[in-house]
Amino acid sequence: MHKKGIKVALFSVFLTIITLLAGCEPLLVLDPKGPQAERQASDILLSIGVMSVIVLVVFALLVYMLVKYRASKQRADYEPPHIEGNLWVEVVMVGIPVLIVAFLSYVSVQSNYIVEAKPKGYEDKEPLVVYASSSNWKWHFSYPEEGIETVNYLYIPTDRPLEFKLYSYGPITSFWIPQLGGQKYAMGDHVTTLHLAADVPGEFMGRNANFSGKGFAENTFNVTAMSQEDFDDWVKEVKETAKPITEKKFEELLEPGHLGQQTYTGTHLEFSPPPAGHDHSEESSETPETETQTESHTGHEGMSH
């Protein structure tokens, strides 16, 4: 390959990358609004940095090989000298990938313990417990301490830890608010716990990140973070204006389909308690509305990404 051809090929690759990047929208996972999401965003950027260095080195070696070992004007019967394997080349080729994998594995394990615990800086604060359950294709949010329930939208206070108890009335789903933290599975046989926190007020997008049928694409919910005072005012307003949720109404909500945002007083935990099994991430918060939630539970922990 001639030098001109190499330059054209490299320019084409560079132009393609620039074109693709120009059409990208900002990634929500790289715009964190909470401590858990910040940790995960930093891990993502670290991984991108490491992989970028690897790609640059590989491309540099590729260009070097193309130039150094390009077609020459040697005679047709020319044979290059026989060379045995080089120990140092083999050590580098094997050792560097092993070190990279070991480093990223260490960071991943360390981060997993951090995001599974209460958010940093919020260890001494009382968490807001929210039971988040899914059905085809909607999300139900129960606030047992406040005695209210919402459908397809979530209000949360800032500067306070959030403890989500996740389970499903249908297939396995995945609870995910990209700007607050990673996803975690909601299942029908036990409850998984996800710890999050919002540092600043704002509007965030939440969704089911696990394919669960034809209505999966619209299985989303809105998240609004506000000050504790505004949150208390909202709870008070709901209790004064919303209708109580009944067992019959909740059974209607569980029917497959899409709904808009809805608000009720009371929670379905009173007549349709969550599964008996709980995971092992932190002690389970007690809910006075059902006996099921005051028992000692065991179960399997959902994965957080």
Determine if residue 202 is left, alpha or beta; phi over 0 gives left, psi from -120 to 50 gives alpha, anything else beta.
left
More confident residue, 22 or 241: 241
Q: Where are the alpha helices (DSSP H) in the chain?
A: 3-22, 35-68, 87-116, 228-241, 247-253
- CATH 3.40.50.970 correct for 128-294: no
Buried-exposed string 78-114: b where 16+ CB fall within 10 A, e elsewhere: eeeeeeeeeeeeeeeeeeeeeeeeeeeeeeeeebbeb
Q: What is the pTM of this model?
A: 0.78
pLDDT at 35: 95
204: number of CA atoms within 13 Å, CB side?
Answer: 31
Q: What long-range pairs does 260-263 form, CB within 8 A, spacing at least 24?
A: 260/152, 261/150, 261/151, 261/152, 261/153, 261/222, 262/150, 262/151, 262/152, 263/148, 263/149, 263/150, 263/151, 263/238
pLDDT at 300: 34
15-19, 144-148, 152-156, 214-218: range with lowest mean pLDDT: 15-19
Those residues with Cβ within 8 angstroms of residue 186's Cβ, 6 or more apart along the chain or in another chain: 132, 133, 134, 166, 167, 168, 172, 173, 174, 175, 192, 302
What is the average per-residue pLDDT within 280-295?
42
CB 304 within 8 A of CB 174: no
Residue ranges covered by each domain of the chain: 3-69+86-116, 128-294
Q: pLDDT (tens digit, 9 = 90+) per residue, 33-50? A: 999 999 999 999 999 999
What is the average per-residue pLDDT within 128-144?
96
Average of per-residue pLDDT values in the chain: 85
pLDDT at 25: 53
Q: pLDDT (tens digit, 9 = 90+) per residue, 169-206? A: 999 999 999 999 999 999 999 999 999 999 999 999 99
pLDDT at 280: 45
